[in-house]
Amino acid sequence: CLNLFATKFDQVINILEQRAFGTKPKKSLPSSETVDPPIEEEEAEELVDYILVDTPGQIEAFTWSASGTIMSNCLASSFPTVLAFVVDTPRCAASPNTFMSNMLYACSMLYRTRLPIVIVFNKIDVVPHEFCVDWMTNYESFQEALDENASQAGYYGSLTRSLSLALDEFYKDLTYCGVSAATGEGIMEEGNANAGGNDTGDFWKAVDKAAMEFEDVYVPDLKLRIEEQQAKKRAVARQSLRRFEQDAEGDLNNL
């Protein structure tokens, strides 16, 4: 199903572009005179600041499949694109190994797509996410949490210790925030979440920060990759031309 959906993803891009940049279709307004033709009016559509795309399938299937690459590249070539990796905060609180698994997934998504990523700690109305931030910024604090769960970890605990040291550099440039999908906390400003306010919350601020990284890092990298690909094509074309000239010269000598 994911592969089939990817073949039609250009239609999704067209819909998103219409929502972001287009206008509403013309609609006919009734005239005061029944004999007169309807009056057509074109309304400018309200432009959207953000578009949230829920990617299909499990994270493994999307991140490491050709279909997932097609969809992420199509979005990144049309809009400033940021990955939002949602983490179940209560599950991370129950086990440091679960936290490390989530961070490893996030790292794989970052290096697979090369897109900026925002780590979104969800359900902070149940468990605050400050302990996750502490584990990301304080290596010793995470080691202490592993020590407390050492009796249940086994071999996996040893692997988690090794990964925590390797991912320590990964955390330094990582953008993260805490939200609650149930209460709106972190998505809208505090005080407006329950009142239905529209003020920007931590999540959108994190997205804006990552969008700046998209312009400053991803776009130049994309241009460089395009230039490298074009240089490879030119090199292959020159090599094919030389091979053709050599074959033609050999044929002439055999006449």
The 10s digit of each residue's pLDDT in 199-254 is: 446 899 899 999 999 888 888 888 888 899 899 999 999 888 888 888 777 767 77
SS3 129: coil
The pLDDT score that the predictor gives to residue 163 is 84
| 36 pLDDT above the threshold of 80 | no
The residue that leads in pLDDT, 157 or 57, is 157
CA distance 127 to 88: 10
Residues 122-163 pLDDT 10s: 999 999 999 999 999 888 888 888 888 776 666 777 888 888
- Classify residue 88 by its DSSP letter: E
The residue that leads in pLDDT, 139 or 60, is 139
Instruction: Kindly report the pTM of this predicted structure.
Output: 0.74
The tokens describing 6, both together, are: 């990817």
CA distance 222 to 225: 5
Instruction: Give the distance between the most distant pair of CA atoms in the chain.
Output: 90
In the 3-class helix/strand/coil scheme, how is 14-53 assigned residue by residue? Answer: HHHHHHHHCCCCCEEECCCCCCCCCEEECCCCCCCCCCCC
Question: Could you tell me if 20 and 52 are in contact, meaning their C-beta atoms sit under 8 angstroms apart?
Answer: no
The pLDDT score that the predictor gives to residue 31 is 46
Mean of pLDDT over the chain: 79
The pLDDT score that the predictor gives to residue 155 is 72
Q: Is 184 left (phi over 0), alpha (psi -120 to 50) or beta?
A: left
Question: Could you tell me if 163 and 108 are in contact, meaning their C-beta atoms sit under 8 angstroms apart?
Answer: no
Residues 182-199 pLDDT 10s: 988 888 765 444 333 334
**175-178 and 117-122 as β-strands: parallel, antiparallel, unpaired?**
parallel
The residue that leads in pLDDT, 81 or 64, is 81
Residues above pLDDT 90, as percent of the chain: 18
Which letter, b or e, does each residue of 210-225 get, where b requires 16 or more Cβ atoms within 10 Å of its Cβ? bbebbeeebeeeeeee
CA angle 142, 143, 148 (to 5 degrees): 95
Strand boundaries in the chain, DSSP class E: 27-29, 39-41, 83-88, 117-122, 175-178
C-alpha of 3 from chain center: 19
At 119, the pLDDT band (50, 70, 90 cuts) reads: very high
CA distance 83 to 72: 9
The pLDDT score that the predictor gives to residue 201 is 64
